[in-house]
Amino acid sequence: MKTIVGFALKLLVTLGIFVLIFLEFGGGYAPVDTAALRAPGAFEVANPAYPGIVGRVRARFSGAQLPPPRIPVSIDQVCVAAAERAVFVRTAEGDYRRFKPGRHCGEGGITTVYSPLASGDFQPVPLADAPPQAFFRLQGF
């Protein structure tokens, strides 16, 4: 009996891990102003010089100046930078949100945005044909 309970518990933990690998929390879509995507500061990437948790605590105790956590990047360089770092887009509300570059990048940079349908779903639209307010697919965790 003890062996069966142990096996069942291990099996449930293993199945739970596999399920959690494929679930995404906090994703969704965020509205962006299509005309503002070409403006400076519309996209940012994670700064590789920004330290991790230990480095930030060490800097706080020593009084050292931290570099900014993100640095601006142009729309032409977003997809290139996304191969190495996290990328962020400025939403219509003005805050920056991490997005999924694989859903938006193609040959030549950002090629696809999303437009809402009447059913509540979103359909991919070429950036050249995008409405004034398009949507970006957000990265969850």
Interval 115-122 mean pLDDT = 89
Instruction: Specify if 12 maps to a domain.
Output: no
pLDDT digits 0-9 by tens, 80-106: 888 889 999 999 998 999 998 888 888
Instruction: Specify if 21 maps to a domain.
Output: no
Instruction: Specify if 90 maps to a domain.
Output: yes
CA distance 20 to 38: 37
Instruction: Specify if 117 maps to a domain.
Output: yes
The closest of 21, 40, 28, 1 to 98, measured between CA atoms, is 28
Instruction: Specify if 113 maps to a domain.
Output: yes
Instruction: Specify if 116 maps to a domain.
Output: yes
Instruction: Specify if 94 maps to a domain.
Output: yes
pTM metric for this prediction: 0.76
pLDDT of residue 1 exceeding 90: no
pLDDT digits 0-9 by tens, 9-64: 999 999 988 888 877 677 788 899 988 888 888 999 999 888 889 989 998 899 88
Number of C-alpha atoms within 13 angstroms, CB side, residue 125? 19
Torsion sign, CA atoms 65, 70, 72, 76: positive
Domain count of the chain?
Answer: 1
pLDDT for the residue numbered 102: 84
pLDDT for the residue numbered 107: 83
Torsion sign, CA atoms 110, 41, 48, 30: negative
State the residue range of the domain holding 129: 27-138
Instruction: Specify if 19 maps to a domain.
Output: no
CB burial string 35-54: b at 16+ within 10 A, e below = eebeeeebbbbbeeeeeeee
